[in-house]
Structure 1
Amino acid sequence: MSNHTKALIAIPAYNEEECIKNTVTELRAIAPEFDFVIINDGSRDRTGEICGSLNCNVITMPINCGLTVGFQTAARYAVDQGYDYMIQFDADGQHRPEYLAALVEKAESTGSDIVIGSRFLTVRKDKSMRMIGSRMITVLIKILTGRRISDPTSGFRLFSRSVLERYYFDNTLNPEPESIALFLKQGYSVSEVQVSMRERQGGESYLNPVKSMQYMLRVFATLLIVQWFR
């Protein structure tokens, strides 16, 4: 990463008291060159208290606003503070900080507007229902845009300032595969870097098997119906 590059790590957190301390401690130990901000999205547990005890930079939402609003808030903060890049990073320990520099280096070397930390760039997907859904989304994005994105549902993503400025002013954009497809259609450059991820390190994911399938179907429907007309 260039000495003049400013990159911000944005960590959305909702009721992550079991994970947030280890996530912050590991991030500071492995990637101290990165600034980070935690979006405490109306947590009802001790997430905010723990962040305060760790002297973290925190934006606290008064209620649970959801991932899209939290991401838009972080994007606006990154633009206002003059960052060149922002990297979306999970609070639950799934994302590994040793790959942060690789995402920035890929963006700098290729001029990419978005860099996705992909679990499947060089590794085959398994045959679970969730991965079948991911394959379907990959195929549909290829049909819509002509580009193959190997891990469209990865939440480990880097966004350049030009993309963040779009999120700053356009409230219809979300940090989901349909927006990645839209940016591709509009000529933005998207690349991928192979990463490995861990299982959630504590707490419970809101994406149980039923909700995971509902999520995949929603993304698929949005891509299929909406993206043709944008």
Structure 2
Amino acid sequence: MSDVLVIIPAYNEEKSIFQTVTKLRNYNDYDYIVINDGSKDSTEAILHHNELPYINLPVNLGIGGAMQTGFRYARKKGYKYAIQLDADGQHDPNDLQMLVDAIQLGNQDMIIGSRFVEKSQYKGSSVRRVGIYYFYYLILFLTGNKITDPTSGYRIINKEIIKEFANYYPVDYPEVEVLVDLAKKKFSVKEIKVEMNNRQGGTSSITPVKSIYYMIKVSFFSLIRRVL
């Protein structure tokens, strides 16, 4: 058993899940668990047929519920570190070792794989970049921390934060909110450069309308969590 668990939340990822897991296993020997978040396509059938380790959620809980399930599993099994790796292939498993090295050698509580802390090949839409810049300044205002890629889900956390997230994790759009909460609790966060790929299949759940809802909701709850 490794002391690192890679958590792969998956919702309707039949086009990419097997490729994502295969790439992960080709790059390293870390333990992993797929959280099948109530998928309505053949994601579960692919996992079962290929005998891949997974937890099946009977209903869709969203990214927050899926990740909290993974964090609870990590805590129960005693892992020292947990990493989120998206099932759609956007996160490059080749960068996993850099995340692990950074948290083991740097005495940090969380390491974020960032597209912007250094120049990378990432080319996002203008709408997505506006949202990222907005949350950068929101976090800077609320915490004083400069997080260049606050919406990146490519993160590794240590045992203390695994415990925190197993007890509470936002239901949806958790990335920004937890950064504000961790800053309040004096946990340390650092960014390192990673590369992000285009989705290998499926479609993003973030539509323009949801983006507006996302910004309003996250801003409100981040403000509340900072004050309380």
TM-score, normalised relative to structure 1 = 0.91
Q: CA deviation at 1:46?
A: 0.6
CA distance in 1, matches of 2:213, 2:166: 28
CA distance in 2, matches of 1:116, 1:98: 15
C-alpha RMSD of matched pairs (Å)? 1.9
> Contact (CA 8 Å) 2:180, 2:226: kept in 1 or not?
no
> Contact (CA 8 Å) 1:114, 1:191: kept in 2 or not?
yes
Identity, in percent, stands at 40
What 5-or-longer segments of structure 1 have no aligned partner?
none
> Contact (CA 8 Å) 2:181, 2:226: kept in 1 or not?
no
Q: Which runs of 4+ in 1 moved over 4 A?
A: 124-127, 171-174
Q: CA deviation at 1:118?
A: 0.3
CA distance in 2, matches of 1:135, 1:69: 26
| Structure 1 position 34 matched with structure 2 position 30 | yes
Paired residues, number: 225
What 5-or-longer segments of structure 2 have no aligned partner?
none
Q: CA deviation at 1:127?
A: 7.7
> Contact (CA 8 Å) 1:5, 1:84: kept in 2 or not?
no
Structure 2 partner of 1:208: 207
TM-score, normalised relative to structure 2 = 0.92
Structure 2 partner of 1:17: 14
CA distance in 2, matches of 1:127, 1:201: 17
Residue by residue, what CA displacement relative to the aligned partner does 1:75-107 show, whole Å, maximum 9, x if unpaired? 010011111100011000000001101111110
Q: CA deviation at 1:108?
A: 0.9
> Contact (CA 8 Å) 2:88, 2:200: kept in 1 or not?
yes
CA distance in 2, matches of 1:162, 1:72: 14
> Contact (CA 8 Å) 1:89, 1:155: kept in 2 or not?
yes
SS of 1:176's equivalent in the other structure is: helix
CA distance in 2, matches of 1:22, 1:166: 31
CA distance in 1, matches of 2:98, 2:134: 27
* Aligned residue runs from structure 1 range 44-63, under 5 A: 44-63=40-59
